[in-house]
Amino acid sequence: MAVARGSCLYCGAPLDSEQVAVATAAVQSLAAPAAAPPPERHIVLLDVRAASREALSAALGLPAFDAEQRLRRGGYQLHRIAEPGPAGQEAERLRGGGLTALVVPEADARVAADPHLALGGDWDEGTLTLRTGEGARGVAGRDLLLMVRGPIARALEEPPQEQFRRVRLAGPGEGHRIHLHLRDEPRPFELDPDDFEMGAAAHAGAALATLLGWLRELARAVPVDDGFRHFTPALGPAQPPLAGAAGAAQALSPARAGKGARPALFDNVAQFRFYSGWRAAVERRGAC
């Protein structure tokens, strides 16, 4: 089951209960079994870039301090997921309170739950050629609509009660994901910098810096969204590794049973994909 933390992953401060509930609902909706199609729902989003603290506080019932924190975070913020009728009514209520509210179909965001997984790539005169399991795709700046990037939280399954005496000295490290949303392709291309095989154009010993440099050049004329870092991590079963070098090493690691079994791994990749999906839906709406 996907779960959201009740406190900040980094500083331990308590988090708003509504934000935790929305994050958990979003990830659980993505993890729904394919045999049971989800009901049609819409996502209500707030664009707080031009909002006032007073309007935000009144419309959302927030203390002035919390409204100010929302304004500091800025950008587009997920407010609610509901059936089309209630979602439209809530958006109208927010607009009546002086806020900018948008409504996008949840189905548009779900497209990002099945991205093209980029296993590697190379850079050649302004074009990033990505290698995927479906073939190669060249991406130039003119092809790009939006780039979304964010940190990935990871956690191991808690040991059984009788194993609490065993001290875990280290847990899984934090990861990162990058989505490239193209103008002519609804499914994004997903990059995991830790499992991305660089081509001949990469500088030895500086693969990550080289990749980020390529992406900065590629996205210099389009929006780059890193707002996912503000979200409460909602953890679910970890996504399977890619077929790159790191993924192959993990796949070849022998499985163990009994007391020596590896604990289950959880991450918030599904949550990142949902965020990236609705953020791209907003961008496509503006580009039409």
Q: What is the pLDDT of residue 66?
A: 95
Query: Where are the domains positioned within the chain?
Result: 3-111, 114-287
Which tens digit of pLDDT belongs to each residue from 270-288?
999 999 999 999 999 875 5
Which tens digit of pLDDT belongs to each residue from 103-150?
999 999 999 999 999 999 999 989 999 999 999 999 999 999 999 999
Residue given tokens 């190379």 in the structure block: 122
Q: What is the pLDDT of residue 216?
A: 94
Instruction: Judge whether residue 85 has pLDDT over 90.
Output: yes
Neighbouring-strand partners of residue 45? 78, 102
Separation CA 4–CA 11 (nearest Å): 15
The answer to whether residues 193 and 151 touch, using CB atoms and an 8 Å cutoff, is no
Average pLDDT over the chain, rounded to an integer? 83
The model's confidence at residue 252, banded by pLDDT at 50, 70 and 90, is very low
Residue 16's nearest CA partner among 76, 47, 60 is 60
Instruction: Judge whether residue 218 has pLDDT over 70.
Output: yes
Local structure of 80: helix, strand or coil: strand
- DSSP class of residue 37 equals P
Q: What is the pLDDT of residue 240?
A: 76
3.40.190.10, 3.40.47.10, 3.50.50.60, 3.30.1390.10: which CATH number matches 3-111?
Answer: 3.30.1390.10
Which tens digit of pLDDT belongs to each residue from 163-211?
555 555 556 778 999 999 999 999 999 999 999 998 765 555 567 788 8
Instruction: Judge whether residue 31 has pLDDT over 80.
Output: no
The answer to whether residues 190 and 115 touch, using CB atoms and an 8 Å cutoff, is yes
Dihedrals phi, psi of 13, to nearest 5 degrees: -70, 145
The answer to whether residues 106 and 29 touch, using CB atoms and an 8 Å cutoff, is yes
